[in-house]
Amino acid sequence: MGCWIYYLSSNVVGLFPLLQFLTLSRSPLSEATTSPNVPHVKPSYSFGRTFLGLDKCNACIGTSICKKFFKEEIRFDSWLSPRLKLPPSYLLSYSGNYTDDAKSWRLVDITRLTTKYQHDQADKRICTSVSNTKACSIERVLRKTERFQKWLKAKRLTPDLIQIFPDVEGWPFPRYLGSCGRLIVSASTRPLTEFYSSSPDVAADLAFQLLSVVNSMGNNDLNYLFYFVRVDAGTFGIFNNGHLFIRDASTLGIIDKQEGSQLIDGQQEYRDIFSCLASDCQSTFLSCKTVRENQNFIMVCQEILPKLLKGKFLQPVQEKIDSFLRLCANSFLDSQEVNDAATKLAEFLRPLRSCDSRFAYRYPDCKYNDKY
């Protein structure tokens, strides 16, 4: 399998495999929350195929959710007012509302696979590589590929056809609801930045979850190493039950640690037309040897945790947390030293968390089981 980087926004690589694993992580939304009455007004906009990306490709794999867009059962935030205008097409993500009964609405995130410019460039690369023209039927080209034909013939999608990381199996990714054109709809999360000013027990809980997520990225039953090229506060999000997830996988890469050492010879088979969605069709793969196993801990300890935990606790607790953070963020230490510091920090934060209904993802279990 080797090494891949999945990007949803800039420098896109392997978009369709990522869409595939999102498809297989599909699960129902969390319980509906009743929002203020949403007026049902006759649309005065032209909701064309171009905005969705249906004029180029039906995205091309995934659970179709197009009907809900056209029936106004998925609405952008601006649609809740009488003036129905489509949001700008150049944006990468939008806040939206989702309903199954036109009475109760849930918040959702509506995300584009890449920017419109990157889509256009990818389309040109695909068409040029096939017919030496700048315009063609993208969907028709993709459907002719060996990879797509394998998907069509398969009775079910297995790991040898794609990577499969459903949230129901504990993988830290948002719930996928469906796709239409080049838009993906998933359960809504709040960015981590909104919690920088949170109370000490909330900060401790989120920091503990973040360290647990990062640890699972390198230690899991499938023996994969997930790694970040970079992280920021928008990388992670929190559901309304307090559970932390990877909100933006645009700089997330994956290495199969069992086969990752077999790089160049084994990678040629993956250079089909799908690779043109990312860059030049002849571009070389990133070497897995450039990835450090401790770089995830270093990144979050440098960029995220100090902003979340700074000045939250009284001494000597704060001093102890800061000392663990300095070690965890030190890129000159070896992997074991960094991992040990991150593990000790997580264990130090565990008893600083509270157990009440604010943390619904582990309450009331935390009252009876120290695991939570």
Least confident of 30-39, 120-129, 161-170, 330-339: 30-39
Question: Does residue 305 carry a pLDDT above 90?
Answer: yes
Average pLDDT over residues 5-16: 35
Q: How confident is the model at residue 112 (pLDDT cuts 50, 70, 90)?
A: confident
Of 63, 102, 89, the closest CA to residue 185 belongs to 63
Of 310, 308, 321, the closest CA to residue 351 belongs to 321
Q: How far is CA 313 from the centre of its chain?
A: 31
Question: Does residue 8 carry a pLDDT above 70?
Answer: no
109: left (phi over 0), alpha (psi -120 to 50) or beta: beta
Question: Does residue 296 carry a pLDDT above 90?
Answer: yes
Query: Could you tell me if 243 and 205 are in contact, meaning their C-beta atoms sit under 8 angstroms apart?
Result: no
Domain boundaries, the chain: 65-185, 189-256+290-368
More confident of the two residues 164 and 330? 330
More confident of the two residues 87 and 218? 218
More confident of the two residues 148 and 360? 360
Q: How confident is the model at residue 51 (pLDDT cuts 50, 70, 90)?
A: confident
Long-range contacts of 119-126 (CB under 8 A, 24+ apart): 119/53, 119/56, 119/182, 122/12, 122/276, 122/277, 122/278, 123/56, 125/276, 125/277, 125/279, 125/280, 125/281, 126/273, 126/276, 126/277
pTM confidence score: 0.76
Instruction: Please report the pLDDT score of residue 61 as a whole number.
Output: 54
Residue by residue, what is the 3-state secondary structure of 53-114? Answer: CCCCCCCCCCCECHHHHHCCCEEEHHHHCCCCCCCCCCCCEEEEEECCCCCCCEEEEEEECC
Q: How far apart are CA 22 and CA 170, in angstroms?
A: 13
SS3 282: coil
Residue entry with tokens 């249906």: 54
Give, for 4, the enclosing helix (H) or strand (E).
strand 3-6
The segment with the largest mean pLDDT, out of 44-48, 124-128, 179-183, 339-343, is: 339-343
Instruction: Please report the pLDDT score of residue 282 as a whole number.
Output: 52
Question: Does residue 84 carry a pLDDT above 80?
Answer: no
- Enumerate residues 6+ apart whose C-beta is below 8 A from 137: none
- Which phi and psi (to 5°) does residue 180 adopt? -145, 125
Q: Render pLDDT for 229-258 as a digit per residue (tens, 0 to 9).
A: 889 878 999 998 999 999 887 778 888 877
Q: How confident is the model at residue 334 (pLDDT cuts 50, 70, 90)?
A: very high
Average pLDDT over residues 198-216: 96
Residue entry with tokens 């250079």: 271
What is 189-256+290-368's CATH number?
Answer: 1.10.510.10
Query: Could you tell me if 112 and 92 are in contact, meaning their C-beta atoms sit under 8 angstroms apart?
Result: yes
Residues in the chain: 372
Instruction: Please report the pLDDT score of residue 337 as a whole number.
Output: 96
Instruction: Please report the pLDDT score of residue 349 as a whole number.
Output: 97
Question: Does residue 17 carry a pLDDT above 50?
Answer: no
Average pLDDT over residues 206-210: 97
The segment with the largest mean pLDDT, out of 96-105, 192-201, 274-283, is: 192-201
Question: 274: number of CA atoms within 13 Å, CB side?
Answer: 25
Instruction: Please report the pLDDT score of residue 264 as a whole number.
Output: 45
Of 285, 236, 246, the closest CA to residue 262 belongs to 285
